[in-house]
Amino acid sequence: MFVCLVLALAAGMVYIETATPIYTSTAKLYLDYGGIPIAQSYESGRIPRTDRYLYTQAELLVSRPILGAVFELPEIRRLRTFAEINVPMGYLRRNLHVEVGRRDEIVSVSFSSPHAAEVPQIVNKVVDAYMASRSDNQRKNSSQVLKILQEEMARASAELEEKRDELEVFQSTSMPLALGSDQGSGVGQLYLTLQTEYTQAQLRASDAELFFRSAQMLANDPEALRQYARSRGQVAAYAAGGNEIAQLEAQLTNGQSSLEALLAELTPDHPRIASLTAQIERLKATITELNDRFVRVLLAAAERQFQEAKEREEELADLHREQGLKVAQLNRELNRYQRLHTEVSQLMTYCQTVEQQIREIRTIVGEDVGQLRMEILEPALVSESPSHPQKSKIMAMALILGLLAGGGLSVLRDFMDQTLRSGEEISAVLGLSVLGVVPAMSQRETIPARGQKVYRQPDVPEAEAFRTIRTAIFFGAPKDRAKTLLVTSPAAGDGKSTLASNLAIAMAQAGQKTILLDADFRKPMQHTIFEAQNDRGGLSAVLAGQMKLGLAIQATSVKGLSLLSCGPRVANPSEILNSGRFTALLERLGEAYDRIVVDAPPVTAVADAQILGAVCDVTILVLRAGKSTRKIGQRAIDGLQRVGAHLLGAVVNDVARSGDRYGYYGTYGGSNGSGRGKAKAAKTRPTSSHRVGPKSVVAAISEGVQ
């Protein structure tokens, strides 16, 4: 800070010593415009002409006729001030300053030049030329003013009559306005009612479709379908055949028990054995027939309910759209009426003002109207000291700038020392390979939009960044060594869940059967990203033995990608994740899927990420540019390494689109381009099958992408 302060003060002193001194002289004029003012325009926002009079005179002072009269004087042309100037009049106009007093009618005229003796002479000549030019136009006859006002009155009256006729025609032809505001209110109220009904119809149609699709999925399991119908409030469907089947199943159980008892005493070909066996087969056939009939009836009812809800939704959509057109038409008519009514009112007020002024002027005969009185209060004098440079002001500014620069550099240095800003810094400070960088995404986007960027917007730079990270992972570790990928971050808000979802989508789009497992029991996000169910099952329900794994896994809109949400919250997440059931679950998923992407809590917040890092094949650490610090990043790495986690590398999130080496994302895009990038990246695949060098994986892949 001290160095900056000294340099700023030294620069100020050098400027003061080398700058050419400039002298300024000022003359002051008093202008009084008396008499009857000209009427104010009826147009909204216009300033009265009398209030603008002094500003008009200030413009006249620097006008070309006034300055031309000044340069016609021989003594002005011989001055040294204009000796080396190519366009003297332009130079004079740029350096001649006219200022109007804020609280008085004083006009100040100033001029600045290195020649102190010539400055007041120039200012006084300009003032003299202005007063001479105004002497012939100083008075205006009352008849002239009266003529102007009469012409203005005739024009305003004609315009007023025209606007009145237009308003009458509009009122007579536009029925909604003639009926008043009640009809407009009724149209608007009906529109809002239809909008509410249309929204409710959409919800009912979506709910009916969900029930119908779910019933189709459970058609092969009549008992599960019956339980699902009961949970959705379909009590009648649940009860249909339920009691009869229960009785038949009880008879079947008794018959099987009796058969086992008889087989212990009699031979299989005994008549009683044969009769009982036939009875058991009939019971099984009856139960199967009842279940099939229940499934058919329920599916038919669900489909009919869905079709009716869809037809009602389409009907209300047409009514809502038609009523919206009526509301728009009514609004246009009301706006036109308000505009015409306002214009008529303004014209009436303006005409009344002009008429009053005409009556006042007619009482004046032979008197001057608009008389202008001018007086020189202070002539311009020779300045004893230069007006520029101002030593005290310049030194004060240099002192302030030095302090600001020093303080700013100190704060910036401290900030840069603590925060990780780029991939190179992460590689150098933390010793991690940088798998890729993700450009900053708008916070106005929804969570599903950001979490499914690769699927919903495949051509944007952010989607290409996630595909680049996917390629880096494929290069960094073979598939058999990186089947389970753990995605975590040092702290909350670094974007790990967004990376996990987009990375899983990118892997599924690459042809690998992928499942996304949400293991963040503290703050789960994957069900929100994919807009899936989470309260009726999930990872916690499977580990607790409350639900089968096949029922807990949910399909997504992305082909080849499944989702296992975290499920209802549990009181002891760490103990559940550290159990043998979770390890066995990962093994089962590994047999069915090519890749398992695990979304874990932040490392430094809880111990869950360290537990998951010990059982997963590789771990990816997400760091947010400008937010993650060296200290918290190192703490996260140490915590993962203590449990033997295999850190594949880091991903830099929320990188600015410009001002850094990753700015190529701003101009890169398109599915064709991304395809070519992947092809080139495949050719530059490193020979190492386990870890890419610490400089950056992106450096190798970016060449192929570009």
> Are the C-beta atoms of 625 and 652 separated by less than 8 Å?
yes
Q: What are phi and psi of 378, to 5 degrees?
A: -140, 120
Residue-level pLDDT at 689: 33
Position 280 scores a pLDDT of: 85
Q: CA 552 to CA 546: how far, in whole Å?
A: 10
Residue with tokens 């001057």: 368
Under a CB-based contact definition with an 8 Å cutoff, are residues 12 and 18 in contact? no
Residues 128 and 187 in one domain: no
Whether pLDDT at 315 is above 60: yes
Q: CA-to-CA distance for 624 and 633, rounded, in angstroms?
A: 10
Q: What is the pLDDT of residues 511-562, one digit of tens each?
A: 999 999 999 998 999 999 999 988 888 999 999 888 998 899 999 999 999 9
DSSP state of 599: E
Total number of domains constituting the chain:
3
Q: Parallel, antiparallel, or unpaired: how do β-strands 484-488 and 618-624 relate?
A: parallel
In terms of C-beta distances under 8 Å and separation of at least 24 residues, what long-range contacts does 532-536 make, across chains too? 532/556, 532/563, 532/565, 533/565, 534/565, 534/566, 534/567, 534/568, 535/567, 535/568
497 and 603 share a domain? yes
Helix/strand/coil for 26 = strand
Looking at the fold, whether 236 and 299 belong to one and the same domain comes out as: yes
Residue 453 confidence (pLDDT): 93
> 448 with 524, same domain?
yes
Could you tell me whether strands 561-564 and 514-518 are parallel, antiparallel, or unpaired per DSSP bridges? parallel
- Tell me which of 322, 350, 378 is where a domain ends: 350
How is residue 321 written in tokens? 């759209």
Longest pairwise C-alpha distance within the chain: 148
Q: Above 70 in pLDDT, residue 404?
A: yes
Residues counted in the chain: 706
Taking 80 as the threshold, does the pLDDT of residue 332 lie above it? Answer: no
Alpha carbon distance 245, 252 (integer Å) = 10
**pLDDT tens for residues 21-60?**
888 889 888 876 554 444 444 444 444 444 567 788 888 8
Same domain, 84 and 201: no
From the list 339, 409, 426, 428, the residue with the least C-alpha distance to 621 is 426
Taking only the tens place, the pLDDT of each residue in 572-612 is 888 889 989 999 999 999 999 999 999 999 998 888 999 99
User: Is 428 found in the same domain as 374?
Assistant: no
Distance in angstroms (rounded) separating the CA atoms of residues 673 and 693: 26
Residue found under tokens 């002005």: 76
Does residue 197 carry a pLDDT above 60?
yes
Give 615's pLDDT tier (boundaries 50, 70, 90): very high
Report the CATH number at residue 62. Answer: 3.30.1890.10
On whether residue 361 sits in a domain, the answer given is: no
In this structure, are 508 and 553 located in the same domain?
yes
Q: Output the pLDDT for position 524.
A: 93
670 Cβ neighbours under 8 A, 6+ residues apart: 459
Predicted confidence at residue 508, as pLDDT, reads 95
Where residue 283 falls among pLDDT bands split at 50, 70, 90? confident
Distance, CA of 9 to CA of 684 (rounded, Å):
56
- Asked if the structure places residue 406 within a domain, the reply is no
Query: In this structure, are residues 500 and 487 in contact, taking their beta carbons and an 8 Å threshold?
Result: yes
User: Residue 201: which domain range?
Assistant: 181-350
State the pLDDT confidence band at 198, using cuts at 50, 70 and 90: confident
Question: Is 365 within a domain?
Answer: no
Average pLDDT over residues 304-330: 83
Tell me: do 257 and 377 sit in the same domain.
no
**Any idea what DSSP says for residue 153?**
H
- pTM over the 0.85 mark: no
Most confident of 190-199, 312-321, 556-565, 692-701: 556-565
HSE of 70, CA atoms in CB hemisphere, 13 A: 27
Tally Cβ neighbours within 10 Å of residue 247: 10
With beta carbons less than 8 A apart as the criterion, state whether 439 and 469 touch: no
Please indicate, yes or no, if residue 414 is contained in any of the structural domains: no
Instruction: Give dist(CA 369, CA 357) in Å, integer.
Output: 12
Does some domain include residue 360?
no
Residue type, 312: R
Tokens of 52: 């603008």
356-394 pLDDT, tens digit each? 777 766 665 344 444 456 778 788 888 777 776 767 777
Q: What is the CATH number of the domain that holds 267?
A: 1.10.287
pLDDT for the residue 629: 83
What band does 416 get if pLDDT is binned at 50, 70 and 90? low
The whole-angstrom separation of Cα 160 and Cα 157 is 5
Both 480 and 591 in one domain: the answer is yes
For residue 275, the model assigns a pLDDT of: 85
Average pLDDT over residues 501-508: 95
Q: 521 and 375 share a domain?
A: no
pLDDT tens for each residue of 475-502: 887 777 889 999 999 999 889 999 999 9
Compute how many other C-beta atoms are within 10 angstroms of the C-beta atom of residue 682: 12
Average pLDDT, the chain: 78
The answer to whether residues 552 and 612 belong to one domain is yes
Q: Let me know if residue 51 belongs to a domain.
A: yes
Report the pLDDT value the prediction gives residue 617, as an integer from 0 to 100: 93
**Strand arrangement, sheet containing 514-518:** 434-439, 647-655, 618-624, 484-488, 595-599, 514-518, 561-564, 554-555
Residue type, 276: L
Q: What is the pLDDT of residues 76-109, one digit of tens each?
A: 878 888 887 888 888 888 888 888 887 777 888 8
As a whole number of angstroms, the distance between CA 533 and CA 213 comes to 15
Secondary structure of 185-205 as H, E, C letters: HHHHHHHHHHHHHHHHHHHHH
Domain end, chosen from 320, 350, 380, is at: 350
Q: Are residues 32 and 70 in the same domain?
A: yes
Name the phi and psi angles at 580, rounded to 5.
Answer: -70, -25
**CATH code: domain of residue 592:** 3.40.50.300
Least confidently predicted of 370-374, 463-467, 468-472, 576-580 = 370-374
Helices (H), 593-670: 608-615, 630-642
| DSSP line for 603-617 | TTT-SHHHHHHHHSS
Is residue 508 in some structural domain? yes
Lowest mean pLDDT among 256-265, 423-432, 554-563, 683-692: 683-692
Q: Listing from the earlier edge strand, what are the strands of the sheet with 106-113?
A: 96-100, 106-113, 23-33, 372-378
pLDDT of residue 418: 64
Block residue for tokens 């056939």: 285
Q: Does residue 479 lie within any of the structural domains?
A: yes
Residue with token string 């149209």: 187
